Structure 1
Amino acid sequence: MDLRIFTEPQQGASYDTLLSVAKATEDLGFDAFFRSDHYLRMGAADGLPGPTDAWITLAGLARETQRIRLGTLMTAGTFRLPGVLAIQVAQVDQMSGGRIELGLGAGWFEEEHKAYGIPFPAERLARLEEQLEIVTGLWATEPGATFDYAGVHYQVENSPALPKPAQDKIPVLIGGHGAKRTPRLAARYADEFNMPFASIADSERQFGRVRTALEEAGRKPGDLVYSNALVVCVGKDDAEVARRAAAIGRDVAELKANGLAGSPAEVVDRIGAYEAVGSSRLYLQVLDLADLDHLELISSRVQSQLG
């Protein structure tokens, strides 16, 4: 089971804070550092000092880390034109020496679009499908050839399809709860399918839909990595769990029901239940980015017990 650290900087984090968490992620042996792609805080958080851009952040971290994978969960398709996104991600992959992964979604948080003057079209899923076709098509185009695409929402003409990533293929993550279109998109474009903030039963059901879609698309069910994103709150004892839950404004019972919370032994057992339904990678949503002792505890007492 791979454990990855997943941050939500829109809730309040500077680049320096994110750098500290990324370096701890690397030093403590976690597999990757991922971040959300949002421009507006959610809930009661003040969001100070303000939003940071996902791909500018990852470009900086690409030069200041050596081992960990880096990526987004998920980049909002509404934020960037597909050709520009392909250039940005390829460049950051070069800057990292080939450690980048792209999670790409349709975009859903209308308020942040209003707050920063970003269009929020109704046909976002249709646009996402065209974006996936363009981004992956640009990267896959052989050097010296050109790429063209004539879609409803985007048109690409005579593109040199440059620059190329450092990796032969940047892993693409697609995720979500949708019963039909989401599995179909994953089957066509994804290297990993992520189920965000879902129960074990819902994860098993959605993973099954994705496997069926893969078979219908002529791919093998084992071609994809299946993963979950879950909030994490671990403590050496009940008092420490309660303290960490209070720090992020959550209830312990709710966290245990909907995330990975409790003692290290409780969390290891919970991870095993997700593994049993097919998940082989977990994105641990860490909400208190100042609490690096939390990461150390997860590394020493949870990650150390996983195969």
Structure 2
Amino acid sequence: MELRIFTEPQQGASYDQLLAVARCAEDAGYGAFFRSDHYLKMGDVSGLPGPTDAWTTLAGLARDTSQIRLGTLMTAATFRYPGPLAISVAQVDAMSGGRVELGLGAGWYTEEHEAYGIPFPPVGERFDRLGEQLQIITGLWRTPLGGSFDFHGSHYTLTRSPALPKPVQRPHPPILLGGGGKRRTPVLAARFADEFNLPFASVEDTAAQFGRVRRACERAGRDPGTLRLSNALVLCCGRTDAEVRRRAGAIGRAEDELRANGLAGSPAEVVDRIGRYAEVGAERIYLQVLDLTDLDHLELVAAQVAPQLGAAP
């Protein structure tokens, strides 16, 4: 079991705050620092100082950290054209020395598209575009040096692309897909993903979705064991009940709700909860950290949760 840190900067975070969390996670031995790719806050928060672009942030972190892996849960396919996205990710991979992972999704948050003038087609078209983006990005990265790449789809056309630059990681950085879709999501994961992630789901729903993904792999002729399975869950761990309540209050959540739907409670309770996800196949947990000023939270989990899981850290 590997533990990774997952942040939501659209809720209010500067680059310096994100860097502090990433460096703390690196020093504590977490496997990766991930961030969302959103342009608008959610819920009753100020959102100040405003959104930060995911790949601009990761480019900075690529130079300001040295070991920890970096990635997105999830970059929205609606935000960027696939060719330029392939260039950006390959460049950040080079800047990091080969530590980048690309989480890519169809996009879902209507209001952020409206707020920043980004087209937001119906869900069917969004999934069509996601499928084409995955073909293009992986095709560009896999094209041999000196070759060219062409693609003619319903939404994107590439003609005689030199397919440059290449990422450091070969054949390409790990690709993450995820979500609760029952039909197209498992099929895309079986075809393109190195990892499938299910966010904020119960153990029972996780077992069901992991089963769909495994069956999609089998139908595609892929060994399901070659696809890593993971969950993302909100973290609210404390040494005492009072500390758990304080951390829940700091992120505007109810303690009971977090205990039911997240990783909340004492280190022992968090270990037990993670163990239930491991029993249905989860190999990696993304700990959603919402209070980016509380670095002691990360250090507590690294010291008292991870060792009981045999996890990194």
Q: TM-score range by the shorter chain?
A: over 0.9
Deviations 1:236-259 (A, max 9, x none): 010000000000000111001101
Residue equivalent to 1:56: 56
Aligned counterpart, 2:21: 21
Q: CA separation in 2, counterparts of 1:295 and 1:270?
A: 17
What TM-score results when the alignment is normalised by the length of structure 2? 0.98
Q: Where does structure 2 lack aligned partners over 5 or more consecutive residues? A: none
Q: What is the one-letter code of the residue matched to 2:40?
A: L
In the TM superposition, what is the alpha-carbon distance from 1:82 to its structure 2 partner? 0.2
Q: Which residue of 1 aligns with 2:177?
A: 174
Tell me, yes or no, if structure 1 residue 297 matches structure 2 residue 300: yes
Once the two structures are superposed, the pairs formed by residues 127-138 of structure 1 within 5 Å of their partners are 127-138=129-140
Superposition pairs of residues 130-279 of structure 1, within 5 angstroms: 130-168=132-170, 169-279=172-282
Distance 1:283 1:296 in 2: 15
Q: How many residues were matched structurally? A: 307
Question: Which consecutive segments of 4 or more residues in structure 1 shift more than 3 A?
Answer: none
Counterpart AA for 1:66: S
For 1:287, the aligned partner's letter is L
Displacement of 1:304 in angstroms is 1.7
- Work out the CA distance in 2 between the residues paired with 1:193 and 1:113: 25
Percent identity, please: 70
Q: Deviations over 1:129-152 (max 9, x none)?
A: 000100011001010111111100
Provide the C-alpha distance between the structure 2 equivalents of 1:25 and 1:34, rounded to a whole number of angstroms.
10
Question: Deviation per CA, 1:14-54, whole angstroms, max 9, x where unpaired?
Answer: 00000000000100010000000001000011000010000
TM-score by length of 1: 0.99
Structure 1 vs Structure 2 CA RMSD = 0.5
Deviations along 1:189-239, one digit per CA (max 9) or x if unpaired, are 000000010000110111111111101111101011100000000000100
Q: Which residue in 2 is equivalent to 1:109?
A: 109
Secondary structure at the aligned position of 1:102 is classed as strand
Q: Deviations over 1:261-298 (max 9, x none)?
A: 00000000001000000000000000000000111111
Query: What does 1:113-124 correspond to in 2, within 5 Å?
Result: 113-122=113-122, 123-124=125-126
Partners of 2:95 and 2:222 lie apart in 1 by 32
1:290 is paired with a residue whose SS is: coil
Partner letter of residue 293 of structure 2? A
